[in-house]
Chains A and B, each alone.
Chain A
């Protein structure tokens, strides 16, 4: 019997498939992975401490930089936390606008995240660029309403900064004509592709119990078969008015996470359809005019607000001492917590599967490191 030795390898931090500056210290026995230690912090930029120095409003553009794919969702979650803390009411139209933006974000996030994962597998560019094309159309619309494609800074306390107009609605309807074609093409291209099945089926299995133990959320948790979605479990904004379903997987492998994300895009599409239909007219206003945005002071106390971000539960925890800025500010970032389950997901699989499994978690380092 040949004596074999375990070998330690660094994957990253400068590696294209680590989705940012992320390092994995892996121990392999031959091709098989024995141990994995995630190393991060390369992108740390003191976000939470800054949030305690900044005033409430000043911190809003910094939340854009957490999960920079879904700045609209980050803004929504942060605005909700401050609104809960300060007891601010949000007009109905603003709630609907926020929901529209969130669901558009979800579509663009899943489209690109799955594209990146498939790129890691070797489906180089095609699937990714189709996702990018749809994302581009959505980003154009974000740019129109908020002024920026990615760093939207769109929400304000008690509403949004700018109302959506007829142009936006017409373009949104046009976009929605195209989206089902994209979903069909994407599924047709890859859903039953033999290569995808070989690389994704029964790879990176995260059992239900383990997923719950790691408090994993979002598509990763649902892929493991737990039907948990904050939009249903604790409906915020106006999510209780829409009819949609929560897709869940059965095995909890990479393939299930992939399927759950595609199904979620279709569900988001349904929510968008209903939101456009129900969108109240502009009489109620799109922002609460009573709120003093710049000099907002919250009464002493604490608040935690969470939303279902495309990556999982995104929560903001704020403690106020009655002054104009938070006494304590904490972000519960879904990427970070989902990433903690990586080692257990990877053990026992081949080293080539690690990048695929990492891609299926869908992390953004801006959010992991903060």
Chain B
């Protein structure tokens, strides 16, 4: 019984090895290949060329990183103009509507004087934990305000932190331009034109009153536009106790841990929160207030490489990326 609609010349029968007596020649051949590969892996050069099937292919991850392609998408971010601090989002709700898992929640800004809607968002909450990174929001956005970030190191021990609010979603345009130069240059002109039109319709600080922006005259204070029914910005929520320092820990380890925590607290800007308990003995319970100033701070184009990286590592990474770019002929 055969299905006859396939022509005979289209079909071939795979060749089986049905020999009953064998003296291990198949295994010997296999081991020969493995040995050849093993030698190449030990003494060969590291390579990343797609044509190679021998040699070393490892990437020593935290130090070495592969270059992410421009189209790479991880989590959505929102853009603002470096010069004026104006956010590109106009709360048109296109992304909220298309989002397959429905994780985008936008509150439209309203003019406090007239109560009329303004082309800006009062708040923008995105559930990073449920986002499926499909990229539809960035695809449909007519104002090029929402884009997909390349930063994938988002792990946290604090789950509620993954409901990301407007302050922490904002990145300057220069950041996006650095991670996706050609994709931005394709849309730059129309995006900026649309932004200029929208700025005209935004009274006061509306549209640039979120987060702590690096450049420009952005208002830092969160002006908390009173909008009926709007959820208050997710700022100022206690981050919960950080793991207490164990009782059975050796002295020097405790000292080291305390100093690390103090340094971290200083970096966050909320110096007093972490610095105070240093003198006290264990257990130390640290309560960190998640202020927008502490957690938002998008640190410009370098952020793509990682904030905590040492200088030489960063230089090395830059060199690798340049080489890759040259290889690709950009």
Contacts and interface: CB of A to CB of B under 8 A. Distances in A.
A259 B16 contact: yes
Contact of B13 (A161, A191, A232, A249): A249
A263 B16 CA distance: 12
A54 interface: yes
B53 A151 contact: no
Interface residues of A, number: 68
B189 interface: no
Contacts of B33: 185, 188-189
Contacts of B98: 57-58, 294
B30 A145 contact: no
Contacts of B3: 226-228, 233
B132 interface: yes
Contacts of B139: 161
Contacts of B253: none
Contacts of A229: 6
A245 B11 contact: yes
Interface string A243-273: 0111111110001100110010000000000
A188 B30 CA distance: 6
Interface core residue of B27, B57, B98 (most chain A CB under 10 Å): B27
B50 A137 contact: yes
Contact of A232 (B6, B37, B140): B6
A178 B53 contact: yes
Interface of B is mostly: loop
Nearest to B57: A133
A9 interface: no
Contacts of B53: 130, 133-134, 178, 181-182, 185
Contacts, number: 149
Interface in B119-176: 132-136, 139-140, 148
Given A54-B100, A61-B100, A255-B16, A162 B71 contact: yes
A59 interface: yes
A144 interface: yes
Interface size on B, as a range, is 35 or more
A62 interface: yes
Interface string A133-159: 110110010011111100101000000
Query: Majority SS of interface residues in chain A?
Result: helix
Nearest to A184: B33
B311 interface: no
Contact of A260 (B5, B14, B140): B14
A144 B30 contact: no
A45 to B, nearest CB: 12
Contacts of B49: 174
A259 B328 contact: no
8 contacts: A134-B53, A171-B50, A174-B51, A175-B51, A181-B53, A193-B30, A197-B26, A245-B11
Interface of A: 54, 57-62, 126, 130, 133-134, 136-137, 140, 143-148, 151, 153, 161-162, 166-167, 171, 174-175, 177-178, 181-182, 185, 188-197, 201, 208-209, 212, 226-229, 232-233, 244-251, 255-256, 259-260, 263, 294
Given A189-B33, A192-B22, A246-B12, 16 more contacts: A146-B71, A147-B148, A148-B73, A151-B134, A166-B329, A178-B52, A191-B26, A194-B22, A194-B24, A208-B1, A228-B6, A229-B6, A233-B3, A246-B10, A247-B12, A249-B13
